[in-house]
Chains A and B, each alone.
Chain A
Amino acid sequence: MFENIIIGINMMFSLGNFFAALVGVTIGMFFGAIPGFNDIIAIILILPFTYYINPIASIAMLMGCSKGANFGGSIPAILFNVPGTTQAKVTSFDGYPLTKKGQSEKALKVALYASTIADTASDFILFFLAAPVSILALMVGPPEYAMIILFSILIIGLVGSEDLVKGMISIGIGMLLSTIGMDPTIGSLRFTFGSLELSSGISLVSLGLGLFVISESFLQLESCIMDKKIKSSKKIDKVTQFKKVDQMNDQHLSKKEFRRCIRPIINGIGIGSLMGAIPGIGTTVASYLSYARTKNTSKHPELFGKGAIEGIAAAEAGNNACVGPNLIPLITLGVPGNMAAAIILGAFMIQGLTPGPLFMQQNAPMLYGLFTLLIISNVFTFSVGSLFVRYCKNLAYIPKQILYPLVLVFTVVGTYIFNYSMFDVVLLFPLGIFGYVLTKINIPIPPLVIAFILGSIFETRLRQALIISAGSISPFFTHPISLIFLSASILTIAFYIIKKKQQRASKIDNVL
């Protein structure tokens, strides 16, 4: 292990790798700071550009983007009570009241320190836990692997959906789209309708950009058309008003105040790391739990929600501590912990690498190089974050009429340079409209993309397991790990149905 770490660190030390991580962090922070965008859109937007760089730089760029967006989301949440990302909602509970008191820079500093510290700690957890977990993962064969992927698709897909049926439909469509192109075991063509371009299937870049970015741009432009009456000038007045108040107040974060944040940060690291390592839970839940735990154990819980810096620290530490451990199930089992990790899995596959039980053994030096770069990239998060705190507060108010047309153009460039294929660019249009329609009828898109990424792996493992057992499905029920995950999948659906029924019942009670 020690030898692999040394080789990995040597592999990692190059200007190109550092630059890639820095670019990732900056782009992530930029998109995170703009409401309507999030870490997933930012990662998908830069995904095509990573195709041409080495795996360490490519994954570090995407992970850097995720880290940057996680912090970036807190900037508009603190300044304007408009969270840039969903997980940043919790940060606004105390961040916005602090802004109203004229201490926005202090709030942003707390968020930045907490994010960076938690992120660094979570990267160390990844560094030291990935190898031991990968040894356990070697016990996994095709039937177990198929059931783990099924469980992963279900849990990630359903946790984010409001409705079981719609989540299942989204997963089904994603898996169906993954079957277009070459059959993964035999190699014959399926659903290509005679098109040569479709023989290698729909590219992840076209699908991701079309369904997430193009459809989101259409939706945002539509909302911009409908909300024409809301003039941005009012909001700008609000910003300048806060600026005036800010200038009169003390923005310095004292040592005493920082010491008050240490316990919430430690809470956040513990909760976030645990939540990050479990597939499907995600950053939003982690930041809520971390905030709730800190509030419940605080001597002054009454101050929470009114501008307590501990609240900001807990929320930010909770969501950022998920980033590193999220890679543990991905690297050791090939199972992504959330949507961002699913896209990073796609990026590994684009680079010709397939994460799974043997991945850590076969690529240990490269992975240790990557982990080290992730730890170092926190320095970039801190430095770029400090600049954003000072100079980029108004990113949230870039007019949508200017921003989204530019995004459409950047999306087209990104898609084209990925394969130099106009076919991929043309696909953006139907996929964008498809994403728009799905959003309009409330069918969630993330399960579709996750099922698309995992669909071909699931099919390969399922068919391998059936070939080994001569067509019998008994291995899925007789192998202990497979049975555990099959039962967990069924329990997930059952739990989901019960939870939704309870929510409906409580809603009806509230109405009555």
Chain B
Amino acid sequence: MDRQFKIFGVLIIFCLILWFFLIPNQTKGPKEAFFPKIITIWLGISAIFGLLGKSRFPNKNNLSLKNEKKGTLKIIFIMLFFFIYIIMIYLIGFILSSFLFLIFIMLFLNIHNWKILFLMPTVCILVIYVFIEVILKFPLPKGIFLRFL
């Protein structure tokens, strides 16, 4: 199926869900629903124009698609690292999780110089700690496990 058709099609379906389910369920009356309905019409009309008109999404040749697939696979890992990092902040606090995150992500990005691998995260976290927590007195996240230590 054409990429353009898929994207604008999804948007039209989203507008229908908004109009028939989300707006009636997530607003309390016609006054509150007034503006979201206008935006839904705005989005719906734009999507219809997109389907009928000449808006084009980038089409790639096979070689660039192959290269991009490799990059996309790796970037999915980086996104996953970032997601785990956020969860780790919640669990073990900012300092430890940031240190681990920086080391893992730099290793993943092929930095094998051990001085850089350890020095950069240490300096970065030290600067953040001194500036944010010591000078500005803003508490950094401690994490639910380490809070009780």
Contacts and interface: CB of A to CB of B under 8 A. Distances in A.
Size category, B interface: 35 or more
Given A221-B78, A409-B124, A422-B141, A192 B71 contact: no
Contacts of B126: none
B31 interface: yes
Interface in B74-129: 74-75, 78-79, 82-83, 85-86, 89-90, 94, 98, 101-102, 105-106, 109-111, 116, 120, 124-125, 128
Nearest to B109: A401
Given A183-B32, A426-B86, A165 B102 contact: no
A179 B42 CA distance: 14
Given A172-B46, A191-B26, A402 B116 contact: yes
Interface stretch (A85-93, A201-209, A411-419): A411-419
Contact of B102 (A172, A188, A409): A409
Interface string A362-390: 00000000000000000000000000000
Minimum-distance CB pairs A-B, first 5: A172-B43, A401-B109, A168-B46, A165-B50, A226-B71
A191 B55 contact: no
Q: Which of B11, B53, B55 has the most CB of A within 10 A?
A: B55
A169 B46 contact: yes
A246 interface: no
Given A190-B27, A226-B71, A169 B43 contact: yes
13 contacts: A172-B43, A190-B36, A221-B78, A222-B78, A225-B74, A226-B68, A402-B111, A409-B124, A413-B128, A417-B138, A422-B141, A429-B86, A433-B79
B130 interface: no
Secondary structure type dominating chain A contacts: helix
Size category, A interface: 35 or more
A183 B28 CA distance: 10
Interface of B: 7, 11, 18, 22, 26-29, 31-32, 34-36, 39-40, 42-43, 46-47, 49-50, 53-58, 67-68, 70-72, 74-75, 78-79, 82-83, 85-86, 89-90, 94, 98, 101-102, 105-106, 109-111, 116, 120, 124-125, 128, 132, 136, 138-141
A218 B78 contact: yes
A441 B120 CA distance: 34
Secondary structure type dominating chain B contacts: helix
A186 B35 CA distance: 13
A263 interface: no
Contact of B26 (A163, A192, A402): A192
Contact of B120 (A222, A223, A402, A459): A402
A442 B58 contact: yes
A166 interface: yes
Contacts of A349: none
Contact of B109 (A188, A218, A224): A224
B101 A422 contact: no
Contacts of A463: 31, 34-35
Given A164-B49, A183-B32, A402-B120, 12 more contacts: A171-B42, A186-B31, A186-B32, A188-B27, A191-B22, A225-B70, A225-B75, A408-B85, A408-B101, A428-B86, A429-B83, A429-B86
A406 B102 contact: yes
A441 B57 contact: yes
A222 B34 CA distance: 41
A341 to B, nearest CB: 23
Q: Which of A401, A409, A462 has the most CB of B within 10 A?
A: A409
Contacts of B47: 165, 169
B49 A165 contact: yes
A175 B111 contact: no
B102 A222 contact: no
A159 interface: no
Contact of A409 (B27, B29, B101): B101
Contacts of A222: 71-72, 74-75, 78
B110 to A, nearest CB: 7
Nearest to A459: B35
Given A225-B74, A417-B138, A441-B57, A218 B46 contact: no
Contact of B132 (A165, A224, A417, A428): A417
A190 B32 contact: yes
A218 B7 contact: no
A500 to B, nearest CB: 9
Contacts of B86: 412, 425-426, 428-429
A224 B106 CA distance: 12
A131 interface: no
Contact of A165 (B32, B55, B110): B55
A193 interface: yes
Contacts of A185: 31
Given A166-B55, A221-B75, A190 B43 contact: no
A239 interface: no
Contact of A401 (B94, B110, B140): B110
A432 interface: yes
Nearest to A49: B136
A166 B47 CA distance: 9
Interface in A120-171: 163-166, 168-169, 171
A420 interface: yes
B111 A401 contact: yes
A410 B128 contact: yes
Nearest to A176: B39
Contacts of B89: 412, 422, 425
Interface in A458-475: 459, 462-463
A405 B105 contact: yes
A173 interface: yes
A409 B43 contact: no
Q: Which of B11, B32, B56, B111 has the most CB of A within 10 A?
A: B32
B30 to A, nearest CB: 11
